[in-house]
Amino acid sequence: MISNREQVTAMILSAKVRKDLKWSQVADAVGQSKEWTTAACLGQMTFTKDQAAVVGELFDLSDEATAWLQIAPYKGSLPTAVPTDPLIYRLYELVNVYGTTMKELIHEEFGDGIMSAIDFSMDIQREEDPKGDRVNMVLSGKFLPYKTY
């Protein structure tokens, strides 16, 4: 019996290693971006019934596990307030150092509001560079202005 979505995530990660799959292969099978598909496999998005069936087949999941993929998850996957994983910590550090700059520039350009993480897309690519390859991340979210009332 499965009691939470985290158990299904563990099953997916185990099968991914066992089958030597890449997230891009899973995304191609699901028909979504590798970024969204990875987030969904890690328990942060909800698959449709058809998408869940594809993921279930790819990772040899039971019908019960596949059903869990279709339930709206509890969002937020970090186990601590300040992340301890070095890569995630560097993103946290980036927001700590440049967050106020990003906020200031977004407000100057768009006004008082936020960038949506719901109406959102992300693209992560390798950018070859002779001094060492770079991570190219593009985050694109709809601007949502605060309303007055």
Residues recognised as catalytic: 90, 93, 116
- Report which residue type is found at 28: D
Per-residue burial over 109-135, b if 16 or more Cβ lie within 10 Å, else e, is: eeeeeebeeeeeebeeeeeeeeeeeee
- CB-based contact 12:59 (threshold 8 Å): yes
Question: Which pair of tokens denotes residue 36?
Answer: 């969204």
DSSP 8-state secondary structure symbol assigned to residue 117: E
Q: What are phi and psi of 135, to 5 degrees?
A: -95, 120
